[in-house]
Amino acid sequence: MGALFFKSAKDLSQMLAAKSLSSVELIQALIRRIKDVEPKIQALLSFDEARALRYAQESDERRAAGKLRGPLDGIPIGIKDIIAEEGQPLTCGSKILEHYISPYDATVMERLKAAGAIPLGRFNLDEFGMGSSTENSAYQKTRNPWNLECVPGGSSGGCGAAVCAGEVPLALGSDTGGSIRYPAACCGIAGLKTTYGLVSRYGLAALASSTDQIGPLGRSVVDLGMLLQIIAGHDERDATSCAVPIPDYSEAFNTEQRSWRIGIPKEYFSEGIDGEVYRSIAEAIAFYRKKGHIIVDISLPHTFYAIPVYYIVMTAEASSNLARYDGIRYTHRSAEVMNARDIYFKSRAEGFGSEVKRRIILGTYVLSSDHQDAYYVRAQKVRTLICRDFSQAFNEVDVILSPTAPTTAFKLGERLDDPLQMYLSDICTVSVNLAGLPALSIPCGFSEAGLPIGLQFIGKAFHEQELLSIAHIFEKEHDFNQRFPDID
Ligand code: GLN
């Protein structure tokens, strides 16, 4: 069965139910694991051990009193350090928020706590979610547990590496252009980007408000479903949150098999895709065909524009969202200030890293009155075409299958000096965010070098249950999510 720290949340929940394990014992085991592997992995930014143990104690007491709050009661969840948690640091991976302590809980944190789940540690990320490798964190470079010389993907790379390395069974990340799915693919775990509006963004520090979503990372799609059940649902504190009925996601795993129509978009298999990635995805397609599902060749013709459109829309939104970090209120303030202007200029110059500055400048440029028609307005029009591609495809198919990324995890430093190369890591993921759709990544193979390969499913809006169900068909019959890295 393997080590305790590599067990799925579902297995751990069953062990807690069978009383073969207490929540306090579980947290203690994970604290030991974290101490063992963190010097190498560097995924964790801060961790309130005493509080986690206190929560675990309370969960054990509820269990003894027969007052459990649900299947994740007593189960630890890692949190990307961009989701506000009362009384805890919220750095967003940035020096500008180095000493900031959140005075309130994000809605997802309230829901986790109400379900008895235990927030366990705040995990590293690219500064404000800007990046694909977690190297843009102002604090530390997180390593890929499969190969310590490689990046874990990003921007939720701390969460991805932590789940992969056995530091925590489940985590909450955020995905603006691929930041849950890409680290999931690089680390060989499962990750779900939820439909825009399904999960409240209240308390998620904003990168691009029209594409940001919170979602789960875990060892299996079953675990993702358990966490999604808690966090999904309307919240009146987020004006973009939708009042849709929330299904019982666990039904995704026991319904009668039906035959799915699976679309294969040719644009996702063009140049730039690595041979080993191509082969693994082709094997996954063959698997579904053999199981009796219908494979349909489709086209998403505007895919080619997704990266430029995303990097215009996202930088525009980021530049205005980040205006709040001004040195006046809760952020870093430069010690060198002589006047009001200095407060803004020097504090922001010192507090933000170079990628953040690049995006603020780009975003301000595409929104400037001379250029907004040429860039921002035009990008929004092409965004509509990208959305239309998906709606047309979904007239023909139930779900779309593609690689999560064209290559496996790259080496640390390899793309750091070339932002365009870094941006291309998102080529298979950003369209989904522009269209507000749900998408999931699961491991579907390993390269010769031993690095995981991610398989992506894209679904219709609010059809997370279908994605979980289709991915589960694959997961059940493969052992890719039962392989664990040897971190020596
Ligand atoms: N890598 C993309 C970016 O740099 C996506 C980031 C994200 O999803 N937060 O913007």
Using one digit for the tens of pLDDT, what is the confidence trace for 111-122? 999 999 999 999
pLDDT digits (tens, 9 = 90+) for 429-487: 999 999 999 999 999 999 999 999 999 999 999 999 999 999 999 999 999 999 999 99
> Measured in angstroms, how far is the CA atom of residue 126 from the centroid of ligand 1?
8
| Domain membership flag for residue 180 | yes
Q: Is the pLDDT of residue 257 over 80?
A: no
Residue 352 lies in a domain: no
Kindly state if the Cβ of 155 falls inside 6 Å of ligand 1.
yes
Which domain covers residue 216, as residue numbers?
2-258+439-482
pLDDT tens digits for range 335-384:
988 999 999 999 999 999 999 999 999 999 999 999 999 999 999 999 99
Q: What is the pLDDT of residue 1?
A: 46
As given in the structure block, the two tokens for residue 111 are: 């829901």
Please, which contacts does 350-353 make with residues 24 or more away whose CB atoms are closer than 8 Å? 350/95, 351/94, 351/95, 351/96, 351/97, 351/325, 351/327, 352/94, 352/95, 352/96, 352/127, 352/322, 352/325, 353/94, 353/95, 353/127, 353/136, 353/138
Q: Name the band, by pLDDT with cuts 50, 70 and 90, for residue 8.
A: very high
Is residue 75 one of the residues assigned to a domain? yes
43: pLDDT strictly greater than 90: yes
In a domain, 293, yes or no: no
In a domain, 379, yes or no: no
Q: Check pocket membership of 134 for ligand 1, CB cut-off 6 A.
A: no
Sheet holding 261-265, edge to edge: 44-46, 118-123, 76-80, 170-175, 213-218, 190-193, 439-446, 452-458, 399-403, 261-265, 294-298
Lowest mean pLDDT segment, chosen from 132-146, 181-195, 228-242, 246-260: 246-260
Confidence of residue 330 (pLDDT cuts 50, 70, 90): confident
pLDDT digits (tens, 9 = 90+) for 398-417: 999 999 999 999 999 999 88
Atom of ligand 1 nearest to the CA of 310: 10
Distance from the CA of 129 to the center of ligand 1, in angstroms? 6
| Nearest alpha-carbon partner for 442 in 398, 390, 479, 485 | 479
Q: Identify whether 233 is part of a domain.
A: yes
Expressed in angstroms and rounded, the spacing between residue 122 Cα and the centre of ligand 1 is 19
User: For the segment 73-107, what is each residue's pLDDT rounded down to a tens digit?
Assistant: 999 999 999 999 999 999 999 999 999 999 999 99
Domain count, the chain: 1
Indicate whether 16 belongs to any domain: yes
| Residue minimizing CA distance to atom 10 of ligand 1 | 130
The residue-averaged pLDDT of 161-165 equals 98
Answer yes or no: is the C-beta of 178 below 6 A from any ligand 1 atom. Answer: yes
Phi and psi angles of residue 369, each rounded to the nearest 5 degrees, phi first: -60, -30
Kindly give the number of the ligand 1 atom that is closest to the alpha carbon of 178. 8
Give the model confidence (pLDDT) of 189-223 as tens digits: 999 999 999 999 999 999 999 999 999 999 999 99
Check if 176 has its Cβ closer than 6 Å to any atom of ligand 1: yes
Instruction: Output the domain CATH number for residue 105.
Output: 3.90.1300.10
**Of all residues in the chain, what percent carry a pLDDT higher than 90?**
95
What's the confidence (pLDDT) of residue 425? 86
Whether ligand 1 lies within 6 angstroms of the CB of 363 is answered as: no
What are the CA-CA distances from residue 274 to residues 147, 206, 268, 403, 405 (Å)?
Answer: 18, 33, 12, 10, 9
The pLDDT tens digits of the residues spanning 267-307 come to 999 878 999 999 999 999 999 999 999 999 999 999 999 99
Catalytic residues: 80, 155, 179
Q: Is 80 a member of any domain?
A: yes
